[in-house]
Structure 1
């Protein structure tokens, strides 16, 4: 059995146009929309760093300069905050700044889908396994989802996907995996189906936007024909890869919010605000008052 190679790098695709959030994203990358007080993309990078990832590859597109600026030094701002005695803000900004040489950016010139975005990172990843985090999906819990994938990968090797359970009647919305034998930190994947029709799902475990993939995926993506939406779909190449390589799934014990949808974005703001010791109590009272007021209006109508 070949030795398990350590996962050192992660890909975070940020090239999407964010049309579901127009007009807010007309001049701002959707990944820079804030959940509480941090942009969406910051949560993905922090999760990767928590899992021990050493190098992040962002796949960007047009009008994404703000993302690069966010992860760059800001000496004027730091100097201004320091002069004002705002040491807490200075410490927070310095802590979130990636170390020099640990972040790379490459461009996806055409919107050809997630599979194509991953393929665009091939030269920066090289011939080694890598993590993939979809930044629209914010994983919220005591521990980041990617750390659990790393635990499972270090035991089983191969390819690993993050999953969560959904109501059986909602499996048609997601990519669903088949559940096989249990292993430490997860289970074997017996199959993958993208948005199965009612009654045809192999389980109710859905892909939550966290992956560890072997580099052979790049050759498959290079040959992959366009699928749904006339785009190169990552799931199609994963299905081909699963014919020759093992896949395991790590069930995440927290909750994932799809910040690519307005509902998920609002839910993420509320949930993460409620979990904050500095503002959670005040937010709870505000939300409680709004809900009670809304219910009263509905009953009176």
Structure 2
């Protein structure tokens, strides 16, 4: 079973990054010279996904515009002989082969956002990538998960796979946390999912990150879950699936994850990717020497 479609829920308001996100979608905030969302899309494309379903809201159309063809800009750069910049622009504009845009009129949580993609996805397994979670990994995180999923699918056609990482116990209340049984070095069969538990109530410190491969049966369960604090949680639907006998596995991916949805995580992301560029790393080293003496 090949995964052909990925859902990108990018309708959130980005309140943790206000005031800049009042006018600029958090997914377009730059990490070096590219917006956050482009790193996520590159991961999907490099993993073999060819159709991207964007769940957007009012004001988020700029994300689609970034990947659209701008003939005026192309003409301007060509006339000025800026061939290198023109090549960069064309690369971005031609990156996504198949793009579907779905409007979420009211922000009602991740579960609701994914449910909005039901018609676009159809009756086939699909990936979900959150736009503010960047994972620097080789091979890409989603590609790792797809390889694991293929092996699991050969044994059962109604499985789902979620990406997880181990976090400190004091941070478990920031994430959906799993409880389960190890069935391999990097694989856990999930028995329970808890949304943002207190540290003393958390069943483990394995946190769900913004990477999923979901069986389309999830749409049926997303329609059954109650709204909690004004939102429909994906973790509630996943728990219903588990309770009904559907197999859900968690994969401990290899790589470094960054949460760009808050100031600290965004800053760490910029520093990390700056260090991957020798020129920028030299600038950073010079700054640290001058500012901190090391």
- Shifted more, 232-241 versus 270-279: the winner is 270-279
Is residue 2:65 matched to residue 1:69?
Answer: yes
2:127 is paired with a residue of what secondary structure? Answer: strand
Is the Cα–Cα contact under 8 Å of residues 189 and 247 in structure 1 kept in the other structure?
yes
Pick from 11, 14, 29 the counterpart of residue 10 of structure 2.
Answer: 14
Is residue 2:163 matched to residue 1:167?
Answer: no
Matched ranges for 1:246-285 at <5 A: 246-285=247-286
Is the Cα–Cα contact under 8 Å of residues 179 and 187 in structure 1 kept in the other structure?
yes
Shift of 1:93: 2.4
Q: Which residue of 2 aligns with 1:115?
A: 111
User: Whole-Å Cα distance in 2 between the matches of residues 182 and 79 of structure 1?
Assistant: 56
C-alpha RMSD of the superposition: 2.0
User: Whole-Å Cα distance in 2 between the matches of residues 76 and 154 of structure 1?
Assistant: 44
Structure 2 unaligned residues grouped into runs of 5+: 154-158
User: Whole-Å Cα distance in 1 between the matches of residues 293 and 81 of structure 2?
Assistant: 41
Relative to structure 1, is the Cα distance of residues 212 and 100 closer, same or farther in structure 2, using a 3 angstrom cutoff? closer
Is the Cα–Cα contact under 8 Å of residues 50 and 96 in structure 2 kept in the other structure?
no
Deviations 1:182-213 (A, max 9, x none): 34753322322222222333322111110000
Q: Which residue of 1 aligns with 2:156?
A: none
Deviations 1:105-162 (A, max 9, x none): 0100011111111111110000111100010111123332111111111111311111
Relative to structure 1, is the Cα distance of residues 195 and 33 closer, same or farther in structure 2, using a 3 angstrom cutoff? same
Deviations 1:70-107 (A, max 9, x none): 01011222222233333332222222334675011010
Relative to structure 1, is the Cα distance of residues 236 and 290 closer, same or farther in structure 2, using a 3 angstrom cutoff? farther
Shift of 1:67: 1.0
Relative to structure 1, is the Cα distance of residues 288 and 258 closer, same or farther in structure 2, using a 3 angstrom cutoff? farther
TM-score, structure 2 normalization: 0.91
Matched ranges for 1:125-164 at <5 A: 125-157=121-153, 158-164=159-165
Is the Cα–Cα contact under 8 Å of residues 67 and 96 in structure 2 kept in the other structure?
no
Q: Which residue of 1 aligns with 2:224?
A: 223
Q: Which residue of 2 aligns with 1:235?
A: 235
User: Whole-Å Cα distance in 2 between the matches of residues 73 and 146 of structure 1?
Assistant: 27
Q: Which residue of 1 aligns with 2:44?
A: 48
User: Whole-Å Cα distance in 2 between the matches of residues 20 and 226 of structure 1?
Assistant: 22
Relative to structure 1, is the Cα distance of residues 185 and 292 closer, same or farther in structure 2, using a 3 angstrom cutoff? same
- Shifted more, 183-192 versus 250-259: the winner is 183-192
User: Whole-Å Cα distance in 2 between the matches of residues 134 and 25 of structure 1?
Assistant: 17
User: Whole-Å Cα distance in 2 between the matches of residues 161 and 49 of structure 1?
Assistant: 19
Deviations 1:19-61 (A, max 9, x none): 2222212222221111111111111111111111110000000
